[in-house]
Chain A
């Protein structure tokens, strides 16, 4: 390995690798599966490494999440194309959350997974990843106005998951 590669790798390790958790978390929620997320996040990270020379500074997390997101959608198109045409379905959501003994975590997980992917990713980026609207807009390539309206819709649906489970969530 020559100097340039070593330097490159060091930069990659310093700038990009700290965001492996963010990469996995987004993939896990977009794909609704930890096993698939592991494969796809790995693929996305290797891809980001290969194309790291195209990263000219700026927000490394947003840059990586963009790649993770694109890799996830490509994977979904190939493996589960039906999911991409998923629509808002509040009925389905209410049915799946009907069991009273379900932990709140499970309810919220189900509610989140029932959201169409384009709404789900925005909520995950905002609530779990703590991204700003500007970062979300950059990662998902949608205008900030749409970020706000999508957040509103996603939050409303999630909020309609039964709340009476907070006690159930504690063992």
Chain B
């Protein structure tokens, strides 16, 4: 019968698929014992928090884009090295600064190769033309590539790069000279940031010929340890190792960014070992409890502070500012607002900066002294004041409203009544620049580790006119110290100047530094090597996977 044969075949098919299922189970359980390292052991999956806007760090300041591109795809002429963020050689094996500080000559390495990819095969190694191309693209408005991706170079605009650099010259194939209009000691620091990368001029030429100039920032070619293989917007970035990288090839062969904007899904993937490293993890407690996971943190180069409008009474009186600073319990703010994920700011500069001096004086919590200072200042009965709390969440201040409430409670103890005021963010900033406030909670994230980036933009006299210095505090001796520090390249001298500047801040208290927040990252324990840099974006070059060790995720015995 026709029906019965069909049924038999269905039954047979059922048997077959049962056999298939059994095979599958055997496969899953037994196949991983291959003697060669599996693909998984030679690759790293990083759960990142967002898609990059572009593959060219020159065009952005966003941390997500820098993390995804800068250190992976490119190199800089010079780079920060070591714990102290001292500037060291990179693409330039050495450099020379003339005595007047206006001419800086870079001597390039000769063995630097660009990426070979499906879309570009380099015929030459890096030379002066590439450096000229990369910087002239930013400086020269008539450069064919200047407007290719919108013509905005926000980092370089913020440090007034084109106003500083007179021109970039090619001396010979491996020597480049920057001519500056004036001496500026933060110039080298700017060149060492994640933004000052070197592109391939040969690739740009090819793109011009193909009428595909816009591809330069979409299909990147650099000299970095990894090269782009594949990018799917909102889904993944796949990097392959650049095998002829000038510092030796990376230990991992493949680096995949799994773009997972939801923090819960990043946590799940980390816990399920679907990613090896996760950015900005939540549930720190859970991660530290598990033996197979590690939580790490670096203190970011930022500062959250409480500032005073020194042009308005009663804050034009230094004693009042000192009194209020002494009455605030910073440790309580850090425990509550940052949940312990930050370090107390002793001064404007984070302790990780090379210019930080351990002897820098710090405002101590002392309500009794604060009360007496207030009496000396002529306010024995206290007074009423406004605190402007920023309405947005930032790393340097995760919740300004709560912080303002805590300060309110602290100041009540010395008889000061506090009103908390907040506006929508852009209105908040505008009104601050107009000087409508009495005191305010805000912060600053540095663009590069040069200490000048903390002192000048926040508190110099010139910054009062641009609206960045919202304390409107203008101190001539402070400004002079900064200027002297900028003019010299002698590190120990600069450190002395900045120490003196911090002493002035301590004495005058235009603002009270509160905290330097930390940046967190979680990883599976068998991933070795440094990823979080002391400064700037993450770097996967020195990362490796230690294999063969299986750690059970049994919970650690609590030690505290």
Do A and B bind? no
